[in-house]
Amino acid sequence: MNKKISKGAVLLMVALTAACAKPPSSIAPVSISTSNYQNYSCSQLSNEINLNARELAASEQRQRNAVAGDAVGVFLVLIPPSAFTGDASADVAMDKGEDIAMRRAFANRCI
């Protein structure tokens, strides 16, 4: 009987940790075309890169908070809160993709 409980507990923990929020470094960027920025001047691109950097930092912080909340939630009640409340992974992926696209556009035209 102990083996069944142990196996069940292990399966439950694996399932719950799979539902947990990923750290920002594990989130892949969304692919965004540099053509989205073809009509931007170099100064506009520079401003947009700086704005997006702040947005990325904020979304990464929200995601880190979700990761921490999930760790506490799983520890206390075996349920990751982000399973119900969501996380910022989509924002992180989008902000990362925009950063890459804007920096490429800037490098191609402004450097």
Give the model confidence (pLDDT) of 12-51 as tens digits.
555 445 558 899 999 999 999 999 999 999 999 999 999 9
**Letter for the amino acid at 69?**
G
Cα torsion through 84, 18, 28, 85, rounded to 10: 10
Q: What is the rounded distance in angstroms from the CA atom of residue 103 to the CA atom of residue 98?
A: 8
**Letter for the amino acid at 80?**
P
C-alpha 5 chain-centroid distance: 34
As a whole number, the mean pLDDT across the chain is 84
Report pLDDT digits (tens) over 83-94: 676 788 999 999
Alpha carbon distance, N-terminus to C-terminus of the chain: 68
Q: What is the rounded distance in angstroms from the CA atom of residue 18 to the CA atom of residue 74?
A: 11
In this model, does residue 75 exceed pLDDT 70? no
pTM of the model: 0.75
Give the distance between the most distant pair of CA atoms in the chain: 69
